[in-house]
Amino acid sequence: MKTLRCLLVDDERLARVELSALLTEAGGCTIVGEAANAEEALEMAVSLKPDVLFLDINMPQTDGFELLGQLEAPPPIVFVTAYDEFAVKAFSVQAFDYLLKPVRPQRLTTTLTRLREQLAPAPNERIFCPHTNGGRFVALSDIVLVRAYDHYVRIYHTDGNDLLREAFSSFIARLPSGDFFRANRSAYVRISAIEQLERLSRGRYLLSLSVGEQETVSEKQGVEWRRRLGS
């Protein structure tokens, strides 16, 4: 069973305590952080990279919907609220699920099961890349590098590269997070495809990849690189 790394966001401490206890009881969940407001949550979401964010809606200053709009590449969002009138809006912003307080253990278990199914990509999952006269399928396991270009992404793989009309954030959500690393604001690289690493100034790195491309790890992401990979 995949262990889910959970970030809890609620301005009420007792609500966080209760949800944390329910997740612990359900099993297969690790609470990587708790935030009492949107500012704390935003920092934690970026630094901790949770698998799922359990998010209250009705919070002072910045509510849950506003926080979601500030996240560049949010993980699956499960809204947890005492109010059912926000359900339609929640799903309109692509929330994964919507739980009403007090959360029932059986209902939470259903959510966790669905999350694990979504976060476990099929080993042979493929993406269709359309061309002028047709197109081709590319296996997720063959993708080495993803770069963002406005409303497009270019994927580099073992058989060349293809341009797809898709938002960067939605595309990288398909990729297994443990296999990839965000090098900078507009590039994801497969860790196992890195053939050479060169230290640059200001804590940056230059990565040489197996497909012949190079990508720079930004100063900001260099900190995460050292934390995650111990280099």
The model's pLDDT over 150-202, given as tens digits with 9 standing for 90+, comes to 889 999 999 999 999 988 988 888 887 668 889 999 999 998 889 888 999 99
The tokens for 31 are: 């609470």
CATH 2.40.50.1020 fits 126-229, yes or no: yes
What Rg do the C-alpha atoms of the chain give, in angstroms?
A: 19
pLDDT at 230 over 50: no
Terminal-to-terminal C-alpha distance of the chain: 29
pLDDT digits (tens, 9 = 90+) for 84-111: 888 878 877 788 899 999 999 999 999 9
pLDDT score of 19 more than 90: yes
At 131, the pLDDT band (50, 70, 90 cuts) reads confident
Most confident of 1-5, 33-37, 88-92, 223-227: 33-37
Whole-prediction pTM value? 0.56
| Contact present, 129 and 164 (Cβ < 8 Å) | yes
DSSP track, 56-119: -S--SSS-HHHHHHH-SS---EEEEES-GGGHHHHHHTT-SEEEESSPPHHHHHHHHHHHHHHH
What's the CATH code, domain 4-119? 3.40.50.2300
pLDDT beyond 50 at 73: yes
Measure CA 109 to chain center.
21
pLDDT digits (tens, 9 = 90+) for 34-71: 999 999 999 999 889 899 999 999 998 899 999 988 98
Domain ranges of the chain: 4-119, 126-229
Mean pLDDT of 12-32: 96
Of the candidates 106, 96, 2, which has an alpha carbon nearest to the alpha carbon of residue 54?
A: 96
Q: Provide the residue count of the chain.
A: 231
DSSP 218: P
